[in-house]
Amino acid sequence: MQFDPTTLKWQDGYKLLTGAIVPRPIAFVSSISSTGVYNLAAFSFFTAVCANPLAIGFTPMRRMDGSKKDTFNNIMETKQFVVHVVTDAIVEAMNETAPEFPADIDEFSVSHLTPIKSTKVNVPRVKESPIALECELWQTVELGDGGPGSSSLVIGKVVQIHVADELVEDMKIDTAALHPVARLAGHHYTRVNSQTIFELVRK
């Protein structure tokens, strides 16, 4: 089958894209509003974008009414955020933050996750996540016409890295011990563990 994106409803294009680009890492992003309200939200349009300086990027889509999500609004106000790796241990809690809560709702309380002080940014990080990347906003790129399905690419400069001691050896992270969870399509996720990891040596 072939599909011309210009003739598809954006929702159908989204389904094809998220079903084709799998698995996708999950950015579990904490932010804080200018009035001090904590926010936690997960985004599966997420990747590393630069090694020098270290930078990551994630893309919050607009809501169905075209409005921007609280995470994006908070980052634009404070210029700071923290990205966490979602593991098997916290994936259920992450899912509790998925609904579109009003801006005055603290998703740390909803998910029963623990906010702890970060080192270089004023945004709290998630105690239960073994990896956290403190970020300062580098730049944003607006994508789309501003309606539903449009999004904003958020690029953050990583200013501090937190990794649980038992996960690091020789500056490499033990993926099997991390137990990360990745997003598939719809309501489906996948786990990364020692049984799913294999090695190919570059020639």
pLDDT for the residue numbered 64? 86
Quote the pLDDT of residue 188: 97
CB 107 within 8 A of CB 40: yes
Structure token pair of residue 56: 């990551």
Q: What pLDDT, on a 0 to 100 scale, did the predictor assign at position 159? A: 98
pTM over 0.85: yes
Could you tell me the pLDDT band of residue 95, with boundaries at 50, 70 and 90? very high
Nearest to 175 by CA among 131, 113, 132: 131
Q: What is the mean pLDDT of residues 101-122?
A: 97
What are the domain boundaries of the chain?
A: 18-191
Taking residues 191-198, what's their average pLDDT?
A: 91
Q: What is the pLDDT confidence band of residue 66, given thresholds at 50, 70 and 90?
A: confident
- How far is residue 181's CA from residue 116's CA, in Å, rounded to a whole number? 22
Please tell me the CATH superfamily of domain 18-191, with its number: Electron Transport, Fmn-binding Protein; Chain A (2.30.110.10)
143/151 Cα distance (integer angstroms): 5
Rounded mean pLDDT of the chain?
96
